[in-house]
Structure 1
């Protein structure tokens, strides 16, 4: 992704995080989105940018053919303890009909202000009768990750949505733990979702193949190595 895009990201700093919004404009056959909220959930929900810094933003340019490019910065690096991260992506998304579609693409993660190696993630997704399925492979500086994802939104008994994610992590160098080494591990999560009085409720269970002292080697997607149950409530004000 070209460096001039970074100047567009910098222009978003004037926007308040509390009043995050997306500016959208049609440019011929192209659709441009610019804002402080992620405008795209790549791989049909498998890869979803998150806002981690006090200042963040990005842009997304898509064509009527289904081709898209964009750049998202979850942290511009102005706050203490946060480094500049720039996620550049390119992909193609196309529906066959109202019940079937697909998406493929790649994301490049870079950290211009620190001595951290860049990483890449290749992804693909399929939509079938309202449900979403995806897979991704990422090459991080310290490990390789293979992920599969399923969001069964097409069939919601009692109005409850179910999504699942399972990832295998292969470490480049085994990590020493008490009683041996850890060279690979897996983690997973299951999310139950249901709207209630304008609030999106998520009940999340996450776990990994590591436990006890082996958790010192954990560096996966979950916030905790051992089993964890989380209740999340979110309400959109605009």
Structure 2
């Protein structure tokens, strides 16, 4: 399945955060453990709509803005796929442009335990400003799809605080392929799809709780052709609880 979609979860930790552990005057360490009702990335389930466990850790330099990190999640693509773990490595540079404005540039390597043929890499640029995030992620490294295929994933999000300690986030993304990839019931094809998410979150008893509504504009037949199942691209509520250390 990862030949179709790649995670963007690692980008959630790129900006400096108040929960970072200060190792010394130069380095901070961010860590986050999560339990989710399912793992959705770019609108599509990575584990057949089943619960998932995730970990994200990032080491960052205060003086240079450079960072390295690792993200891992439980997955299940079905159809005899032996891989049950996604393991991603990323590195980048966080550049403050102005107050509340930051540019991130970096690279992600997506790997899959026991299925190295699905491994891919992606280059990204992300601009965060006043609660908005605008991101572009490009890859021409998709062995499972063929040497000629490439992808561009662009998305924008906005998060704001609302009454009673809640945060509200909305995100809209577009996944484009160089060549047509999705086939509908009438035989027509297209080279991309749209996906979106609305997320409500709140901190309670030291944990971060959230519920998201996630959906795509893929039909069941397009989803079946792309990832082998009809129900992993449709609308879903995703619940999660996280602990930041």
Compute the displacement of 1:215 (Å): 3.5
| TM norm structure 1 | 0.61
Is residue 146 from structure 1 mapped to residue 116 from structure 2 by the alignment? Answer: no
Compute the displacement of 1:192 (Å): 4.0
Q: Distance in 1 between the 2:75 and 2:236 partners? A: 31
Is residue 105 from structure 1 mapped to residue 106 from structure 2 by the alignment? Answer: yes
Q: Which protein has greater RCO, CA pairs closer than 8 Å, 6+ apart?
A: 2
SS in 1 for 2:224: helix
Unaligned segments of structure 2, at least 5 residues:
1-18, 35-41
Q: Distance in 1 between the 2:139 and 2:122 partners? A: 4
2:27 aligned residue: 30
Q: Distance in 1 between the 2:112 and 2:210 partners? A: 33
Q: Deviations over 1:179-232 (max 9, x none)?
A: 425352303113142538777443414122x32534322349x97334x152x4
Q: Distance in 2 between the 1:74 and 1:206 partners? A: 21
Structure 2 counterparts to residues 189-208 of structure 1, below 5 A = 189-195=196-202, 200-208=209-217
- Contact kept, 8 Å, 1:99 with 1:128, in 2: the verdict is yes
- State the superposition RMSD in angstroms: 4.4
- Contact kept, 8 Å, 1:131 with 1:155, in 2: the verdict is no
How many pairs were matched up? 200
Unaligned segments of structure 1, at least 5 residues:
1-21, 39-45
Is residue 180 from structure 1 mapped to residue 202 from structure 2 by the alignment? Answer: no
Q: Deviations over 1:109-144 (max 9, x none)?
A: 123533514211111111212322222123433253
2:219 aligned residue: 211
1:72 aligned residue: 71
Compute the displacement of 1:66 (Å): 0.4
- Contact kept, 8 Å, 2:182 with 2:191, in 1: the verdict is no
Q: Distance in 2 between the 1:233 and 1:135 partners? A: 26
SS in 2 for 1:153: strand
Q: Deviations over 1:18-39 (max 9, x none)?
A: xxxx995625623345x6738x
Compute the displacement of 1:105 (Å): 0.6
